[in-house]
């Protein structure tokens, strides 16, 4: 402002602008700004600052903020200036506020009322200033406050106001689409506005809407084509021309919209063919804006339903771009060519020399774009040349992001179009060597699988040759420094599987190499794990063929080191190696068979190998496992447990099973558990009863128990009380079974591959002569020579059929790498589970079966489980712990199978309600001192102090 003529600005302001422009360094500029900040802080704090002076101070604050310094001390003064009645001061205030504040700033709330008032102003300039501030400052929460006024302004008489209102609604849609979803029809209406500026502004929100839902706007194709035709025919005012192009930015936006609407739609594309041909003919290629319209037209032609004449025009325009001396136009030509070859791959053959020139151009951006084009053009005939050029380029760059992208493309092309497995392995080695850990872990798995499965054919000689060449190359590569971790894992795996297969290298030599790898990478546990596993394989193969294995001193020290490692995985592998060295050849061959990495592992989901263990446990009295969905009477218990979990902070009742005494033949009193200082009942490991029958006297009913307070009681406040017969429908207590997941030791990989092979540089420098060199013609023939051949993607064989196993599936004939992410499988021997996996009948110190105490307590009132004198031969049915069997004198006689429900059978009465069968339970009533003492011990064991020799447990528990 002031620098262009002053406009009444002070000399200080002009000197500030001049000194900033003349600053010779950033430090000098910072000194000028800091001095200016001190001056402004002092001036703004003065009382009664004139409005014109405050306006100048705000402009100087804008300079301060623009140059990266904090001017927050003046924000409030900018907000105050937006309230001014003067148009010039108000616009200055809005300008400063939009530059100072963001949509989430605390001062935004002070501007909303001012914006609402200004949107209703009669001066359209004030309305435009407010709409500009709306686009910058209004956030999702304050949109409803100004939305009605903005919608009303769509019908304003001034086109500038209507245009800014459309832009404000578009901004609302970008920030909160749901807030303006009911106003989408307004954009369609504004498309027919008489002013081209309003119409052009409407194209932006319509483009975003069409991207979200193309089908809803198919009816607008004719309208868009009509508008584009009028623009191309120069029917708009001259003020919309730019470098002699009629409204080029409106044309570009319309072409983008038509490309979306015509994609895959022949009928919609038919309306566009004529106008697109006119644009190709009328566009002026001498200016940048004309070339921009041409490029967008090519993109549109490549997106809609193909038309031969339009494709020819697009190819011609692309050719002009590629032949240009401008790097920008060449870049556009390469991008356009990449779009066109999707429709017709033969188009690239016409421009092969231009592509080669771009590939050798020193402009790095152009070179990367050319590699993208070559990636799209790759097929089996040119994959070797393209991948080699990509790897050579990958060596020369330091950008890890783009190096990762190039490496992934090389791997993808090699997996799809590799001419041979040897070439694939060598290519992967180069990728690993130069890309390192940037390579995807899937690549390492595919490489190991390819080496293990070979050619996928029955040619064992070729497979052996492939593996021998891999071993030779990896032994050479081990001497190179700074190999990536993933590549080292691949090398260790290959040396362990095939290092001594052909007899070329001795076991001690390979083991020594592996020990060197582990020593050189002592901080990488994954590499050391692969190393010790490879040593174990080599030792196993040597023992299996009857040769004696003598460990090298460095190998023994490695085993000792890993045996004391903090990593349990490394410890396990070291101990497994030590155990394997002590086995005979037959056992070793069974544990680690030779060349079994490709064999499928059969998983027994039914765990049939545990059948004998389960049968033995059931013979000893263990209960059969009942699936959770078949257990009855567990719904309410689950409710209790979930309630406890949610209310643990307010209730101290615990549901773990209590420890039960295990009676011995001579009746002795178990050790009494001293009560804890708290009132909680702490669970202890449970011991189960043996199947024996004991005598017990009759128990008094719970209604006779007196309510005497004792030291330890259950706290049942807020717990649902469900006692007695209606509570449960089954005597079977819930038991929790734990499953174990066995880790198979598979390790995931990340890494790279190495190869010392060097590539010749095809082009040392570009020749400036008009004629084409023979070397360039040869490269072009390699890239484009077999353009008409169909690309065939290679597929690796899925699985190698184990030798001697008949199969009806034919192996795939096509060689290649598999893009599956699964690593090679190794045969594992299932280990016997811990003996307490399913045994619920014997006490175990590690796990405590979960038995609901309510179910144990419930039987003491009346309903009990059937006596244990029932025939035990029916082991198939579920058997429950017989709690009351400890206290019965004689077992009941003639008990039918229908009366086994403890909740329907009374221990003292005749039951006539269970399946219509009358059962008489003959019970002896009277006191038995020995059983009473044992009953007292049981009560003490669960933490209750008895009140007499034969207490009522409910009276002691509930007081």
Q: Structure tokens of 103?
A: 């949509």
| pLDDT tens for each residue of 453-490 | 876 666 777 788 888 888 888 888 887 878 888 889 99
Chain centroid to CA 822: how far?
17
> What H or E segment, with its residue span, contains residue 241?
strand 241-242
Distance CA 600, CA 802 (A): 8
Q: What is the pLDDT of residues 545-563, one digit of tens each?
A: 888 888 888 999 999 999 9
CA-only gyration radius of the chain, Å: 43
Is the pLDDT reported for residue 859 higher than 90? no
pLDDT band at 118 (very low <50, low <70, confident <90, very high): very high
What distance in Å separates the CA atoms of residue 301 and residue 276, rounded to the nearest whole number? Answer: 8
How many of the other CB atoms lie within 10 Å of CB of 115?
A: 22
Q: What percent of the chain has pLDDT over 90?
A: 36
Question: Which pair of tokens denotes residue 620?
Answer: 């000893």
Q: Residue 932 — very low, low, confident or very high, per pLDDT cuts 50/70/90?
A: low
Mean pLDDT of 587-611: 80
3-class DSSP state of 242? strand
Length of the chain in residues, anyone? 959
Residue 939 has pLDDT above 90, yes or no: no
Asked if residues 394 and 433 have their Cβ atoms less than 8 Å apart, the reply is: no
Which DSSP string do the residues of 398-460 spell out, in sequence order? --HHHHHHHHHHHHHHHHHH-S-HHHHHHHHHHHHHHHGGGS-HHHHHHHHHHHHHTTSSS-H
Q: Say whether pLDDT at 622 is over 50.
A: yes
pLDDT-based confidence at residue 938 (cuts at 50, 70, 90):
low
The model carries a pTM of: 0.58
Spatial CA neighbour of 474 closest among 752, 754, 823: 754
Q: What is the SS3 assignment for 28?
A: helix
Q: For residue range 228-279, what is the model confidence (pLDDT) as tens digits? A: 999 999 999 999 999 989 999 999 999 999 999 999 899 999 999 999 999 9
DSSP string, 625-684: P--GGG-SS-HHHHHHHHHHHHTTTT-----SPPP-----SS--PPPPPPPPSSSS----
Phi/psi for 263 (5° steps) reads -65, 115
- Angle, CA 742 vertex, CA 741 and CA 747 arms, to 5°: 115
Give yes or no for residue 98 having a pLDDT over 90.
Answer: yes
Instruction: Judge contact between 492 and 517, C-beta under 8 A.
Output: yes
Q: Is the dihedral of CA 637, 641, 646, 650 positive or negative?
A: positive
Mean pLDDT of 189-204: 93
Coil, helix or strand for 272?
Answer: coil
Distance in angstroms (rounded) separating the CA atoms of residues 763 and 772: 13
pLDDT at 676: 42
Rounded CA separation 765/360 (Å): 8
Residues 6+ apart with CB under 8 A from 269: 262, 304, 305, 307
With a cut of 70, say whether residue 502 has pLDDT above it: yes
Residue 574 has what pLDDT?
92
User: H or E segment at 329?
Assistant: helix 327-340
Tell me what percent of the chain is helix, strand and coil, each rounded to the nearest 5: 55, 0, 45
Q: Is pLDDT above 60 for 735? A: no
Render pLDDT for 26-39 as a digit per residue (tens, 0 to 9): 999 999 999 999 99
User: What pLDDT, in 10s, does the model give residues 324-373?
Assistant: 999 999 999 999 999 999 898 888 888 888 888 888 888 889 999 999 99
């Amino acid at each position: 402002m002031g620098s262009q003529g002053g406009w009444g600005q002070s000399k200080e302001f002009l000197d500030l602008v001049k000194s900033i422009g003349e600053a010779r360094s950033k430090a000098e500029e910072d000194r000028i700004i800091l001095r200016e900040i001190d001056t402004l802080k002092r001036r703004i704090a003065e009382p009664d600052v004139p409005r014109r002076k405050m306006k100048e101070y705000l402009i100087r604050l804008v300079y301060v903020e623009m140059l990266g310094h904090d001017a927050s001390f003046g924000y409030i003064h900018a907000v105050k200036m937006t309230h001014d009645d003067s148009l010039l001061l108000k616009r200055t205030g809005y300008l400063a506020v939009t530059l100072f504040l963001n949509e989430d700033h605390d001062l935004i709330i002070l501007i909303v009322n001012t914006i609402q008032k200004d949107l209703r102003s009669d001066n359209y300039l004030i309305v435009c200033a407010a709409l500009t501030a709306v686009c910058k400052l209004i956030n999702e929460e304050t949109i409803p406050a100004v939305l009605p006024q903005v919608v009303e302004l769509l019908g304003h008489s001034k086109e500038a106001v209507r245009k800014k209102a459309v832009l404000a609604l578009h901004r609302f849609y970008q920030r909160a689409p749901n807030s303006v979803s009911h106003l989408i029809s307004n954009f369609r209406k504004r498309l027919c506005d008489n002013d081209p500026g309003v119409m052009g502004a409407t194209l932006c929100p319509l483009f975003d809407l069409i991207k979200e839902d193309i089908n809803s706007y198919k009816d607008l194709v004719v309208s868009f084509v009509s508008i584009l035709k009028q623009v191309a025919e120069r029917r708009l005012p001259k003020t919309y021309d730019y470098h002699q192009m009629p409204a080029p930015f409106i044309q570009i936006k319309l072409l983008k919209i038509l490309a979306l609407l015509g994609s895959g739609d022949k009928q919609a594309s038919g309306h566009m063919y004529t106008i697109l041909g006119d644009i190709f003919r009328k566009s002026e290629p001498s200016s940048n804006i004309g070339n921009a319209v041409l490029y967008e037209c090519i993109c549109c032609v490549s997106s809609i339903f193909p038309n031969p004449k339009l494709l020819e025009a697009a190819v011609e325009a692309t050719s002009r771009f590629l032949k240009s001396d401008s790097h920008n136009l060449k870049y556009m030509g390469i991008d356009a060519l990449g779009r066109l070859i999707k429709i017709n791959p033969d188009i690239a053959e016409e421009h092969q020399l231009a592509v080669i020139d771009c590939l050798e151009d020193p402009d790095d951006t152009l070179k990367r774009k050319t590699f993208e084009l070559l990636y799209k053009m790759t097929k089996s005939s040119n994959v070797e040349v393209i991948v080699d050029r990509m790897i050579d380029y990958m060596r020369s760059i330091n950008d890890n992001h783009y190096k990762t992208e190039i490496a992934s493309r090389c791997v993808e092309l090699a997996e799809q179009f590799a001419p041979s497995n040897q070439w694939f392995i060598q290519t992967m080695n180069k990728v690993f060597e130069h890309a390192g850990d940037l390579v995807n872990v899937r690549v390492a798995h595919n490489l190991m699988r390819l080496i293990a499965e070979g050619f996928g054919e029955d040619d064992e000689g070729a497979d052996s040759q492939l593996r021998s060449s891999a071993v030779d190359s990896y032994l050479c590569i081990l001497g190179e420094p700074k190999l990536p971790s993933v590549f080292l894992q691949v090398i260790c795996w290959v040396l362990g599987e095939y290092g001594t297969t052909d007899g070329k290298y001795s076991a001690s030599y390979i083991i020594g190499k592996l020990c060197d790898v582990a020593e050189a990478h002592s901080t990488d546990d994954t590499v050391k794990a692969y190393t010790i596993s490879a040593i174990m394989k080599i030792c196993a193969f040597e023992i299996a063929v009857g040769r004696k294995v003598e460990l090298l001193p460095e190998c023994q020290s490695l085993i000792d080191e890993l045996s004391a490692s903090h990593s349990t995985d490394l410890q396990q592998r070291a101990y497994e190696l030590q155990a394997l060295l002590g086995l005979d050849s037959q056992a070793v061959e069974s544990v680690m068979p030779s060349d079994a990495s490709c064999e499928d592992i059969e998983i027994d989901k039914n765990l049939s190998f545990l059948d004998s263990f389960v049968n033995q446990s059931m013979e000893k009295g263990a209960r059969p496992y009942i699936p959770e969905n078949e257990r009855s009477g567990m719904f309410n218990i689950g409710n209790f447990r979930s309630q406890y979990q949610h209310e643990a902070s307010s209730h101290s009742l615990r549901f773990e099973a209590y420890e039960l005494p295990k009676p011995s033949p001579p009746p002795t009193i178990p050790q009494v558990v001293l009560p804890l200082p708290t009132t909680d009942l702490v669970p202890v490991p449970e011991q189960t009863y043996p199947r024996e029958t004991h005598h017990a006297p009759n128990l008094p009913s719970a209604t006779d128990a007196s309510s005497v307070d004792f030291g330890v009681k259950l706290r049942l406040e807020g717990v649902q009380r469900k006692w007695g017969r209606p509570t449960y429908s089954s005597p079977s207590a819930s038991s929790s079974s734990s499953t174990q997941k066995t880790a198979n030791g598979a390790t995931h990989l990340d890494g790279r591959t190495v190869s010392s092979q060097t590539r010749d540089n095809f082009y040392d420098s570009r020749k400036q002569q008009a004629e084409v060199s023979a070397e360039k013609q040869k490269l072009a023939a390699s890239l484009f020579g077999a353009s008409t051949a169909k690309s065939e993607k290679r597929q690796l064989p899925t699985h190698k059929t184990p030798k001697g196993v008949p199969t009806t599936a034919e192996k795939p004939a096509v060689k290649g790498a598999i893009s599956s992410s699964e690593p090679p499988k190794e045969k594992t021997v299932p280990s016997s589970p811990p003996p307490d996996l399913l045994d619920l009948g014997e006490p175990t110190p590690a796990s405590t079966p979960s038995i609901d105490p309510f179910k144990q307590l419930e039987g003491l009132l009346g309903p009990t489980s059937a006596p244990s004198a029932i025939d035990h031969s029916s082991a198939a049915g579920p058997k429950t712990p017989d709690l009351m069997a400890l206290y019965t004198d004689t077992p009941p006689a003639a008990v039918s199978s229908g009366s086994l429900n403890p909740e329907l059978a009374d221990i003292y009465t005749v039951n006539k309600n269970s399946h219509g069968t009358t059962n008489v339970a003959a019970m002896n009533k009277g006191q038995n001192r020995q059983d009473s003492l044992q009953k007292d011990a049981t009560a003490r064991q669960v933490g209750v102090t008895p009140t007499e020799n034969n207490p009522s447990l409910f009276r002691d528990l509930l007081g």
